[in-house]
């Protein structure tokens, strides 16, 4: 018997099970060590005016877990705003760099305050030109023209994105990326002289600030307190998701799950702290001590008695009425993210938007549902029924578009970038737009 055979013979199922447990244990130790190191970093950091050392150990631990899940660098990529962790623009920019087809991105401030500042500068230059002549005056006039043109463009673009009128900061983001059919190996080797033919821009916009001046709107304390930072981050995040949805979409969901988990944990920590405070004696009230196990600790039972002084007997406890125990209602722990993934309200909104885009009017909806063996009332629908309905509406268009792309040897992602300004169609209206474009192209060709 060879040495290898002896080793295999000696490796019993029990031995392999023990080895597997040890392996998992080592991974858990490494995981905890990483969290611990992150916790130390967060303890010594400053988040704006907030010192990491001022956070409770539980809060620091949760922020460390958040950084581990998202892969964020706490010192440069995480901001603490409104008492919660946020991934900043540096995080999204660093992750964009890792995308193979990413080239660069640009951000423009197009908010009303920025536009007003440009027009004010034009007025200042107008006063200066009064004392000038010749080339100097012409040079400043040209500068004034450029500033006015930029201000007009800001107003135009802000209207295009339908930005909130009271927003303090409005940021437009443009990500330049290579199309899917670009020869990346050749481009990286420097053998392509004109790479612009393979680049496309993807644009998005978001805004923040001034929410307090918007009647009837949801409050946005973080955006109001940090309008510029919030608008830049939100705009870049939305644009990154559009430009690289295959990666950014699922990854964004993972980040949102981590944020929900932290918010839930913060709520539990806060509840536990409230319960501890409720158990402590009131200032100036009767004191009692619990020392059943471990160190003695202060408690606040309803039957606490004044401590007896010398020569005075304390009234026997048995003669006292049975106290009514104070009940502390604990908040229920939120369900895990997987159990919260189906939002009935969102599914209903998506269904009716898709019905509209499919041309199924409200009077015909019941008949359409009956044709597809769906319950008459959507109140009886679950995740499967909504999925079946959306598939019935979208699948025929999806099959036609993908078939036409195949026949014309077109890349669906590149066509989407060109027509929709995003790297993949998402809604039925997107697929309808591509379908109409392809039908028109096919009708105008010799095919």
Least confident window among 195-199, 299-303, 319-323, 377-381: 299-303
Q: What is the largest CA-CA distance in the chain?
A: 114
Q: Give residue limits of the domains in the chain.
A: 27-87+250-280+336-341, 88-249, 343-444
Average pLDDT over residues 350-373: 91
Q: Name the burial class of residue 216, with classes exposed (0-12), middle (13-18) and buried (19+) by CB atoms within 10 angstroms of its CB.
A: exposed
Q: Is the pLDDT of residue 383 over 70?
A: yes
Q: Is the pLDDT of residue 202 over 70?
A: yes
Contact between residue 317 and residue 304 where contact means Cβ atoms under 8 Å apart: no
What's the pLDDT tens digit per position in 146-193? 999 999 999 999 999 999 999 999 999 999 999 999 999 999 888 988
Q: Is the pLDDT of residue 23 over 90?
A: no
- d(C-alpha 19, C-alpha 25), whole Å: 10
Q: What is the DSSP string of 254-312?
A: HHHHHHHHHHHHHHHHHHHHHHHHHHSPPTTS--EEE-SSSS-EEE--TT--PPPPTT-
Give CA separation, 49 vs 43, 105, 111, in Å. Answer: 14, 30, 27
Q: Is the pLDDT of residue 322 over 70?
A: no
Number of Cβ within a 10 Å radius of residue 389:
21
Helix (H), strand (E) counts: the chain: 16, 9
What's the pLDDT tens digit per position in 94-144? 889 989 999 999 999 999 999 999 999 999 998 888 777 788 888 888 999
Q: Is the pLDDT of residue 335 over 60?
A: no
User: DSSP assignment, residue 181?
Assistant: T
How many percent of the chain have pLDDT more than 70? 70
pLDDT at position 89, please? 86
Q: Is the pLDDT of residue 215 over 80?
A: no
Mean confidence (pLDDT) of the chain? 78
- d(C-alpha 266, C-alpha 277), whole Å: 17
> Could you tell me which of 57, 76, 99 has the C-alpha nearest to residue 245?
99
What's the pLDDT tens digit per position in 29-42? 565 676 777 777 77
Give CA separation, 74 vs 67, 69, 210, 391, in Å. Answer: 7, 12, 29, 42
């Amino acid at each position: 018997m060879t040495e290898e055979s002896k080793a295999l013979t000696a490796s019993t199922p029990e031995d392999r099970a023990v080895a597997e447990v040890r392996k998992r244990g080592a991974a858990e130790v490494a995981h905890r060590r990483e969290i611990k190191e992150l916790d130390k970093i967060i303890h010594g950091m400053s988040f704006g005016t907030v010192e990491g050392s001022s956070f409770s150990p539980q809060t620091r631990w949760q922020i460390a877990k958040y950084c581990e899940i998202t892969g964020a660098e706490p010192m440069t990529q995480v901001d603490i705003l409104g008492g919660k962790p946020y991934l900043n623009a540096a995080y999204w920019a660093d992750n964009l760099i890792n995308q193979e087809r990413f080239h660069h991105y640009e951000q423009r401030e197009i908010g009303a305050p920025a536009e007003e500042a440009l027009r004010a500068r034009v007025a200042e230059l107008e006063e200066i030109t009064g004392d000038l002549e010749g080339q100097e005056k012409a040079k400043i006039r040209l500068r004034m023209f450029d500033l006015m043109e930029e201000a007009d463009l800001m107003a135009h673009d802000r209207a295009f994105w339908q930005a909130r009128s009271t927003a303090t900061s409005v940021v437009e983001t443009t990500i330049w990326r290579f199309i899917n059919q670009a020869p990346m190996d050749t481009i990286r080797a420097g053998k392509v002289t004109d790479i612009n033919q393979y680049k496309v821009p993807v644009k998005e916009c978001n805004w923040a600030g001034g929410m307090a001046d918007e009647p009837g709107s949801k409050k946005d304390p973080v955006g109001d307190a940090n309008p510029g930072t919030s608008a830049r981050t939100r705009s870049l995040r939305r644009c990154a998701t559009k430009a690289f949805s295959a990666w950014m979409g699922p990854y964004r969901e993972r980040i949102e799950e981590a944020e929900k988990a932290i918010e839930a944990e913060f709520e539990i920590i806060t509840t536990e702290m409230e319960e501890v405070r409720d158990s402590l004696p009131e200032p100036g009230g009767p004191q009692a001590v619990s020392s059943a196990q471990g160190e003695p600790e202060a408690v606040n039972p309803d039957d606490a008695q004044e401590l007896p002084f010398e020569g005075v007997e304390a009234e026997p406890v048995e003669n006292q009425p049975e106290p009514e125990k104070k009940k502390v209602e604990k908040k229920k722990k939120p369900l895990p993210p997987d159990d919260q993934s189906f939002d009935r309200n969102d599914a209903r909104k998506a269904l009716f938007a898709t019905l509209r885009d499919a041309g199924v009017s409200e009077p015909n909806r019941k008949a359409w549902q009956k044709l597809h063996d769906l319950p008459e009332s959507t109140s009886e629908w679950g995740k499967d029924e909504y999925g079946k309905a959306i598939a019935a509406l979208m699948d025929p268009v999806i099959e036609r578009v993908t078939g036409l792309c195949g026949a014309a040897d077109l890349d669906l992602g590149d066509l989407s970038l060109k027509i929709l300004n995003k790297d993949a169609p998402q809604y039925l209206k997107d697929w309808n737009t591509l379908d109409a474009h392809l039908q028109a192209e096919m009708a105008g060709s010799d095919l």
